[in-house]
Amino acid sequence: MDCHVAAPQEIGPFLLNQSLKWSWHHPAGRFHTLTWGTAIDHQMNVYLSAADGLRKFDKDGKQLWEVNVLPANLMNAPAIYQGSVFTSDTGGGVRAVSMQTGKPAWFTNTSKAICQDNGFTMVHEGVVFSAGDCRALNASDGEILWTFEPDVPVWNFLALFPDKETMIFQDMTGKIYRMSLGGQVLWKAGGKEGTWTDGGASLGNGMVFAVNNNHPFYSKEFSGEDTPGTLSAFDMDGHLRWQVTTPRPPNNAPAIGKVAGWPSMSLILPLCHQGWPGASCDVHAYDANTGGLRWVFHGPKQTGNFQAGDAEGVGDRLKSGLRPMCLPNGWSAPTISGDGTVFVGNEMGNLYALRDLDGDGRVFGDNEVSYFDTHGAFSGTATPALAGNMVAAAAGISHGWSENRHELDNPWF
């Protein structure tokens, strides 16, 4: 079962400030481009998607190749599958390039444009799923297999795969769709009509988890950081199992897995209203079986008008034909490692490692919270990637951390 952002077999370093192995930023300047997501292959190579293109690095941070996509912009996290890397861009193009060389395998223009949200290009059983006109493509040659129009638009699109025959996603109101890989709708459930969320769905523990805001964004009931949302759990037939109200807007896809200090499966959900000066940002852990709250981590508040690194480099990015600002989610999507540590990036630039070792319901103190300040906000798709005792995360700059080396390498200080 695809649990989206849990990595149950992989363990990353907890003491992030003592474990930086390498970092990269655009040679024209730290904030010359915007970074969106990472993926790690079986040889520990890291693939980084950025507004201006796709790059591959070896495990020591050496850049191996680069694919430039300008004048379009890359806006999503990459997927790797059977020797190729898959991405989509704002010009409506979906592409596959060789993992080995970066040379193009195919390019298909699926629509006039793909929105400048940040989602995930996903591949399953030879089918590529991309937002835009919500199209499914053949992974071998890019041929359009089918198109589907949901009841309302998708946002930060993420396709999930419970088995070999079906896929699941949610639209921007939190409604869940389960479809066959051939494009047939099997069921729809949940959601809040008229609302919008940056959040997404996740799979795990035999259930589908969806999030939505409880009030329309421009309604009089919407009060910013303290506007409640809803976390819902459905069984695989679309029947509601449980539902809880969140105190702040749920703004990313949850992660499902075992977390340190707690039995059975937990669900990790970031909560925050981004772009709101002074707004608080929390991470909640829920019992995946019942929705009961297990622990809370209180993250930093947005301290200025913009999130970390977003105002820097605006002129350079405009001159280069890139989107000028990220305006990211309050948190990246989270990752749960094999030892139960939660890795998640915050809008103010910190990458956190979190664990509730004593099970007291709050994550606090040096043995439960570790962080590294990247000085750049994390987008919603900047899910920390884990493999071989290494965590790779894309903020304003790309980083790789490893337990195997502890000398600091921080070229921008």
Q: Is the per-residue pLDDT at 6 higher than 80?
A: no
How many helices (H) does the chain have, and how many strands (E)? 1, 31
Please tell me the predicted confidence (pLDDT) of residue 407: 35
Q: φ, ψ for residue 382 (rounded to 5)?
A: -80, 50
Of 331, 342, 250, 335, which Cα lies nearest the Cα of 295?
Answer: 342
- Dist CA 318 CA 351 (whole Å): 27
Place 389 in a pLDDT band, splitting at 50, 70 and 90.
Answer: confident
β-strand partners of 295: 285
β-strand partners of 188: 177
Please tell me the predicted confidence (pLDDT) of residue 328: 83
Please tell me the predicted confidence (pLDDT) of residue 120: 87
8-state DSSP, 379: P
Residues 225 and 172: beta-carbon distance below 8 Å: no
Quote the domain boundaries for residue 303: 16-402
Query: How many domains in the chain?
Result: 1
Q: What is the CATH number of the domain that holds 39?
A: 2.130.10.10
In tens, the pLDDT along 104-154 reads 999 998 887 777 677 888 999 999 998 875 567 888 989 999 989 999 989
Measured in residues, the chain has a length of 413
In tens, the pLDDT along 299-327 reads 998 888 888 888 888 888 888 888 888 87
In tens, the pLDDT along 258-298 reads 999 999 999 999 999 887 888 889 999 999 999 999 999 99
In a domain, 209, yes or no: yes
Q: Compute the mean pLDDT over every residue in the chain, rounded to the nearest whole number.
A: 88
In a domain, 283, yes or no: yes
In a domain, 125, yes or no: yes
The whole-angstrom distance between residue 332's C-alpha and the CA centroid of its chain comes to 5
In a domain, 176, yes or no: yes
Q: How many CB atoms lie within 10 A of CB 349?
A: 21
In tens, the pLDDT along 177-208 reads 999 999 999 999 999 999 999 899 999 999 99
In a domain, 407, yes or no: no
In a domain, 413, yes or no: no
Phi/psi zone of residue 191: left (φ > 0), alpha (ψ -120 to 50 degrees), beta?
left
Q: 282: buried, middle or exposed (CB in 10 Å: 19+, 13-18, 0-12)?
A: middle
Sheet holding 144-147, edge to edge: 122-124, 127-130, 135-138, 144-147
- Dist CA 222 CA 1 (whole Å): 36
The CA-CA-CA angle for residues 295, 297, 302, to 5°, reads 150
In a domain, 298, yes or no: yes
Q: How many CB atoms lie within 10 A of CB 298?
A: 12
In a domain, 8, yes or no: no
